[in-house]
A and B are shown apart, each in its own frame.
Chain A
Amino acid sequence: MADRRRVNGPGGITVPPIYEAEDLPLPDRSRQPNGIRAQYLKTGVTPSASGSAYLEIEPQNGSVSKGMKLTCTVHGPRSLPRSAPFSPHMVLSTHVKFAPFATRQRRGYLRDSSERDLSTHLETALRGALIADRWPKSGVDVIVTIIEGDQARQVAVEQGIEEWDMMNVLGGCITVAAAALADAGIDCVDTVSGGVAALVPGKDGEEPVMVLDPVPSEHEEILAACCVAYLPSRDEITNLWLKGSLSSDANLQRMLIARAVHASKGSSQAVAASLTEAALAG
């Protein structure tokens, strides 16, 4: 949705350079269907914030995927402004923002609808994990910045890929925000972690297969995808986002959610490892 409240300058001032078509063969997925990309997670990267984390997802060799880099800062818990109404719980506000240079298409400084949508998803995912009644009358801000989006230069031109990419971004946002919340020392029932699974058409007209942590540009088409926010020790899901066209076969969406939960277990190990490391380092 366009911003109708301000008179903005024309959006297309910076014209992205158009490169000659590279004859890159569309790379195939080299990982196993149940393999996720390696993740690097470090907490406490922003000294001025009460909690922060940085997540990097490994770029693939020989693939158009350039990996993803996210950073999250948590400010608070701090007292609400005097004008705010009384709240018996901590008030959580989430902001997700792409850096202007994160994707092929330049993002403006104002958040667009997809970013606002992502922040609502993130809020749902985190609110389930927080024990919010331990901080009445206080607020916490969770700010996630996507420094580098997971998009190849040439392939991302085609629309459709970008939409599927949002699921991956949300999965990363959830994981990095959970680590930053833990770093800030805010009580949670568990560290929540994000995981993505997708249904892609099989090779040579075979049955569709399910893959974990899909890179949209590695597949010709994505039939359906699912992103979950999962609490491993309680075995509960705080946020579920599934889209795509699934036939009425009941097992398909059940399988897809189960695979996404499986993927999030992988990234929860990264969170656990980095938090232990931070705790040992003191």
Chain B
Amino acid sequence: MQRGDSLNSPFVPFSPNPSIQQGTPTSTPPLKHTLSSSTSSNLRYSSSRKSIYDRHLNRSQRSELSKASFAFLFGEMVQYAQKRVNGIADLEKKLNLHGYSIGQRLLELLLWREGRSAKRETRILGILQFITTTVYRSIFNKPADGLEKSRDNEDEYMLIDNDPMVNSYISVPKEMSQLNCAAFVAGIIEAVLDGCLFPGRVTAHSVPTEQLPAKTVFLIKFDESVIERESVLG
């Protein structure tokens, strides 16, 4: 029992404001006051006694992540998501959501790193350029392979990736041929667009060709309000 207590206590998450936070676990037992003050350590601090505010944001700017470890993590993410959904559309939505929270953070981080030369994007073309170059380069170390405007629809753009890194170790079964796990990347793109006030819908579609069997097209469909504003800005 005692062992159980000491195991439970470290999992009390630091929630700055429980009333706003949605997923606050309620079943977590409160810290027992029998625990000495040293063991009920404040989780705001890491073992080095430094808060997140004491670390520099550029610490990991140039470092690269092993592709194998990412493939493992992403594989697990897909599996985890798949256990909790019914249907392919649901699964893609879940992956999209995973990416979304990453995109929100990445946007601020990238602009922060640009320092004084940082500027907000106010035009559709500007923000799409930002995604194909800056965002893509920071995640995948290469720019996206293409950016096209839809011929039929004013509000649709297509971002092309000939071989999405996230899909390199994923082979989709035949009965799920609709699925493209790059929905995760679509979520990142959607979050960046949303953050800059270009709300829209981003979906990933497989468009295999003879030379490029993994070619993926991210279809970006902007809200009406964005197109309206764009025409006002002229």
Check if A and B associate: no
Chain A residues at the B interface, C-beta cutoff of 8 Å:
none
Q: Which residues of B contact A (CB under 8 A)?
A: none
